[in-house]
Amino acid sequence: MTAMETAPAGAQADRAGDRPAAHGGEARRQALVASLRSRFARASARGDAEAKRALFREAVYLGIQPGEFS
């Protein structure tokens, strides 16, 4: 199966062929960074090192560099 065959209805595969290209992809990414930034600030304020590590792992999974939110 190709990426197009496994993509949700109405989605197109991007050039890499492994992620669906969706309308508003940059807006989605900005929302994810904003969410990470907010949660990182709260974790930092309460001194929660484990929560910060979990946010770094989440960011890597999402393809976001930690410097974009920390």
Q: Is residue 30 assigned to a domain?
A: yes
Residues of the chain with pLDDT under 50: 1-8, 10-18
Burial of 37 (C-beta count, 10 Å sphere; 0-12/13-18/19+): middle
Question: What does the alpha-carbon distance between residue 16 and residue 32 come to, in Å, rounded to a whole number?
Answer: 21
Is 7 a domain residue?
Answer: no
- What integer pLDDT is reported at residue 24 of this predicted model? 76
Tell whether 41 is covered by a domain.
Answer: yes
Condensed to tens digits (0 to 9), the pLDDT of residues 9-28 reads 544 444 444 455 555 799 99
pLDDT of residue 23: 59
In a domain, 15, yes or no: no
In a domain, residue 50? The reply is yes
Residue 11 lies in a domain: no
**Number of domains, the chain:** 1
Q: How many helices (H) and strands (E) does the chain have?
A: 3, 2
- Is residue 1 classed exposed, middle or buried when 0-12, 13-18 and 19+ CB atoms within 10 A define those classes? exposed
Residue 69 belongs to what domain range? 24-70
In a domain, 29, yes or no: yes
CA angle, 44 as apex, 52 and 30 as ends, to 5°? 65
